[in-house]
Structure 1
């Protein structure tokens, strides 16, 4: 049976299509003649009544000379569930008191697949489908009863964290903060140190995108000192807090944290990453080290660490949206 394909569309596509058309001085009728689509079809695309396929987005992008803007807003992704899976999930939603272990495992697998899609698809394209899934999970977790409910609630807490991350990555800053605050409460409710630490890590990432060194220090230090977090998480959090201190000009504090991170490395190398931070490896934190050393003015060491960290990424992560800042930093360090 061929894989089912789902089309994911950035919610900004309709407005961007209309903006580009007007910027090119075209009416709907003009564009319809050029692309050989009906005027009504184009109107429905611009008001969001229908969704474009990848082919349609590409054709419009070429015609409007959008340099890939429209193409990047549409992606085809394989469905992560089968029809039988969908029926099982629908039954759990309708009968939450009869939740079973197989459904909980299935929902964990769905979340894991969504998180890995984030390495290949831009966050704004993922959000329109991720948010409804999250809300469904929250509702199910609130109504679930029985021995499997606690495990489902932990999955729902991780889903909240994932949606907060997507908003941070998409630079929906206010919504990211709101959702991540909610994620912190849920992580505490399910008594998960790794989840709680990862929430603070994502808050630190957002502050780094905002260019706020004190925010970087505040949230990465909170992650570093969160009870129950893993050694791999703590290494990365210490390194990124050191980056914040370096940006503030506090070299002593930065070097102290880099030393603490080095001391933790042996323990980190012997453990597997928590599911909430599956991407962590002993070499992953070298990208954060690169940022810290670059801020400390040591370009050669920064370049070595950034290069090693980027080269150590799995193939499916190397072009992920979140790697952009590290690739840009490597360009600066290597100059």
Structure 2
């Protein structure tokens, strides 16, 4: 049993170690020692964890790849990508706190796997590792942790090695979000703008980040430049609405997220009526589970969310 996989699965399900122990009728202290690598799990505990968490063949394939990097195959890379996708979507529901320890552990393991990997699937693995670093960086951004900067630069470096414009853009976007959380509007605007100029950036990413650049430019005091950016972002957003985003930016599917970004840009410019219209339309298209996601308050304050949410 791979402890990292178990921790990730607990995080995906939003289960604490104490709650998992309660459901399996095990001593919480025993499970904690297992999860922290201080005690080997019994066969019975392994079976109970597998049943509770739904650990399957993909989890085992991913664990095998981590132990045997020179035998990396496409199925293993796909399993690793699937595990990452599940963690990213769990963040939409449970937020960064339960996910962060497992994500840090996975970063260390994945970087080691990438270092030792050989063969034709190495570039595909590098894309998974770059995306994981971006995801880990995003968790740190949400936690207001300065560690986000180094992790996101690491993700961008790996994405550059394989020439993935969307993944380079992803790391740059989260870095811009880091500066936004620090209240450094000028630097945030520069980084959002850098995303729009990234070679190979997807249209959906470009439109969303142009709107964020407009918002931060307005907050930095240059409202004329912000209005120019916002007009361009709205034109791009209309074109992007009919395109499927890269999987690494899955939340940009459709028009809802574009409208939210445009709405907060209008708000920063003082256009309250346009802001309310865009935000209300955006919220109407956001999946219900995302309305409770911790990150939604980055775009809409809790009070405004209650005011504008459909129903």
How does the TM-score come out when normalised to structure 2? Answer: 0.80
C-alpha change, 1:197 and 1:190, in structure 2 (3 Å) is: same
**Aligned equivalents of 1:97 and 1:241: distance in 2?**
43
Counterpart selection for 2:220 from 231, 248, 252: 248
Question: 1:7 Cα deviation (Å)?
Answer: 4.1
Matches within 5 A, 1:287-302: 287-302=260-275
Question: 1:190 Cα deviation (Å)?
Answer: 1.4
**Aligned equivalents of 2:179 and 2:173: distance in 1?**
10
* Corresponding position of 2:200: 228
**CA RMSD after TM alignment:** 2.8
Question: 1:295 Cα deviation (Å)?
Answer: 1.2
Quick check: 1:276 aligned with 2:248?
Answer: yes
Render the CA deviation track for 1:188-234: whole Å, top value 9, x for unaligned: 11111001111111111122211111122111011111110111101
* Corresponding position of 1:95: 68
**Aligned equivalents of 1:297 and 1:214: distance in 2?**
18
Contact 1:81–1:110 (8 Å) recurs in 2 = no
**Aligned equivalents of 1:168 and 1:227: distance in 2?**
24
Contact 2:204–2:252 (8 Å) recurs in 1 = yes
Question: 1:8 Cα deviation (Å)?
Answer: 4.4
**Aligned equivalents of 2:222 and 2:60: distance in 1?**
56
Contact 2:234–2:262 (8 Å) recurs in 1 = no
Contact 2:233–2:262 (8 Å) recurs in 1 = no
Question: 1:290 Cα deviation (Å)?
Answer: 1.5
Contact 2:103–2:136 (8 Å) recurs in 1 = yes
* Corresponding position of 1:106: 79
Contact 1:303–1:333 (8 Å) recurs in 2 = no
* Corresponding position of 1:28: none
Bigger radius of gyration among the two: 1
C-alpha change, 1:90 and 1:256, in structure 2 (3 Å) is: same
Counterpart selection for 1:177 from 132, 149, 153: 149
Quick check: 1:198 aligned with 2:198?
Answer: no
Matches within 5 A, 1:1-335: 7-8=10-11, 79=53, 81-82=55-56, 84-172=57-145, 174-281=146-253, 282-328=255-301, 331=304
Render the CA deviation track for 1:267-315: whole Å, top value 9, x for unaligned: 3123110011011032212111111111111111111111221221112
Contact 1:230–1:274 (8 Å) recurs in 2 = yes
How does the TM-score come out when normalised to structure 1? Answer: 0.74
Question: 1:265 Cα deviation (Å)?
Answer: 2.7
Contact 1:299–1:334 (8 Å) recurs in 2 = no
The DSSP-based 3-state class of the residue aligned with 1:124 is: coil
C-alpha change, 1:91 and 1:329, in structure 2 (3 Å) is: closer
The number of aligned residues is: 272
Gaps of at least 5 residues in structure 1 are 14-40, 52-77
Gaps of at least 5 residues in structure 2 are 1-5, 17-26, 36-51
**Aligned equivalents of 1:285 and 1:255: distance in 2?**
16
**Aligned equivalents of 2:104 and 2:195: distance in 1?**
25
Contact 1:300–1:334 (8 Å) recurs in 2 = no
Contact 2:169–2:195 (8 Å) recurs in 1 = yes
